[in-house]
A and B are shown apart, each in its own frame.
Chain A
Amino acid sequence: MTTSVLLIITCGLAIVTFIMFGALLELYYQLKQVRLHLDLVDTPSPLSLGEFEGVTPSTVGLPSELDTAERNVVLVLSNKCQTCFTLAGEFAGQDLPEELWILVIPIFGGNADEFIDQFQLYHNRVLIDRDSRIAGQLGLDTTPAALIVSGGLLSTAQTVPSMRNLRAILSAEEIVFPIGRRGARELSQSDVGGRDHVRGARGDA
């Protein structure tokens, strides 16, 4: 009798386990579908630095400390894009990672100081590109973006779709885009739909 009861319990548990594994499988299939439909989610795109690829950061107006940096990342945020707010929120009132700089671009007459106050980004590695001079020179027309400084030179740039992606950039030594994507084209208006455009923006007073 006891054996039968134990076996019935075993069968019941086995059935529950089977259903749970099946549910996990379903979850993965659904996740796959969601990812296929929302191709942009967590998908970074390379940005062209054009003639500024391989030059020292100070050439485009970035601090000269970066010219001697082995590997630094300049996170370019604007005060109008939702993802920028999410990324800035991650650093609110905290120390920045050692290799991270933040460049805030106030667009559409916005105020960069408000943005910095909102997220308490009080750090000497937080910069403001008030007249969009740096972004304009680099032809940067999408935020959030990351400029990767390697060996004291501007090496690559890419969009930063998520905090997960930013963490990956920060912990990486080198970024290799899949064949055919690196430097394939300049991002056009349609390519970066849904993101903020900073080209030609006027800085705050």
Chain B
Amino acid sequence: MSQVAITALSAIATILLAGVFLRSSLSKARAISGFQRTLNQLGVPFALVSILAWVVVLTEFITASGLLLAPDARWPRVGAVLLAVSFGAAAAWAMVSHRRIACQCFGTSSSRLGNRHLMLMPAWIGLAGIGQIVPSEWSLINGLMIFAGVVYLLIVIELFRLRPIMREMRGYRVALAPAYVRPSAGAQGEGIGS
């Protein structure tokens, strides 16, 4: 594999990893109570739940920022591996103790901690490893631009998530309400929301 391809792969791995942690941290920050509940269900003492939740959110955010703004530094990848291991351990603990614990990995979500999260752990570590083989090198300005680009990409993803739920809400109303055919509408069944 050529040096250019390896460098590109490393950059993609770094940006992907940073994107995941960025989305995870911002989503958790938005719905912190859900993540606190998850920590509590995992057995974290009530007094520490609030602090630990914010520590995780900040660690994820700093790790993601480090990956993008200091791509040649080692510490962000170490942070990413530590986070991946701790999430894997939490999933393993939930499975071993037969607890049904909502993940809340990206804010509120209905998925439960389990196999899937355990299997993703090597993937995160792998991405960090690829980034470490040939650390990407770009300036702080470029890093900030990539950071902004990643966040805007996350916004686009949110918009795509928003679209079906808005359509569902509209459909829900149409399904429950009779179809009110407006005078301008010709065909039967054509009414509100159609």
Chain A residues proximal to chain B, CB less than 8 Å: 3-4, 7-8, 10-11, 14-15, 17-19, 21-26, 28-29, 31-32, 35, 42-44, 46, 158, 165, 168-169, 171-178, 181
- Complex Cα distance, B185 from A31, in Å, reads 29
- Complex Cα distance, B144 from A165, in Å, reads 50
Q: Is the interface of B mostly helix, strand, loop or mixed?
A: helix
B172 touches A35 (CB 8 A): yes
- Complex Cα distance, B181 from A27, in Å, reads 30
Which chain A residue has the least Cβ–Cβ distance from B161? Answer: A25
When distances are taken between beta carbons in the complex, the residues of chain A under 8 Å from B144 are 4, 7-8, 10-11
**B172 → chain A closest CB, angstroms:** 6
B108 touches A29 (CB 8 A): yes
A18 touches B165 (CB 8 A): no
With A32-B172, A173-B185 already in contact, the answer to whether A26 and B107 are too (CB < 8 A) is yes
- Complex Cα distance, B27 from A177, in Å, reads 41
Given contacts A18-B26, A18-B158, A25-B165, list 11 more A-B pairs with CB under 8 A: A3-B141, A14-B151, A17-B155, A21-B158, A22-B27, A22-B31, A28-B166, A172-B181, A174-B180, A176-B188, A177-B178
A11 touches B148 (CB 8 A): yes
Question: Can you list 9 A-B pairs, Cβ within 8 angstroms, ordered by A?
Answer: A11-B148, A14-B148, A25-B165, A26-B30, A169-B180, A172-B180, A173-B182, A173-B183, A176-B191
> Which chain B residues numbered 130 to 172 have a C-beta less than 8 Å away from chain A?
140-141, 144-145, 147-148, 151-152, 154-155, 158-159, 161-162, 165-166, 168-169, 172
When distances are taken between beta carbons in the complex, the residues of chain B under 8 Å from A31 are 169
A-B contact count (CB 8 A): 109
Which chain A residue has the least Cβ–Cβ distance from B61? Answer: A15
Name B177's contact: one of A29, A32, A168 (CB within 8 Å).
Answer: A168
- Complex Cα distance, B192 from A174, in Å, reads 12
**A205 → chain B closest CB, angstroms:** 38
B176 touches A42 (CB 8 A): yes
When distances are taken between beta carbons in the complex, the residues of chain B under 8 Å from A26 are 30-31, 107-108
A176 touches B189 (CB 8 A): yes
**A5 → chain B closest CB, angstroms:** 10
- Complex Cα distance, B107 from A169, in Å, reads 40
Which chain A residue has the least Cβ–Cβ distance from B183? Answer: A173
In the complex, B179 has a CB within 8 A of chain A? yes
- Complex Cα distance, B183 from A175, in Å, reads 11
**B126 → chain A closest CB, angstroms:** 26
When distances are taken between beta carbons in the complex, the residues of chain B under 8 Å from A175 are 178-181
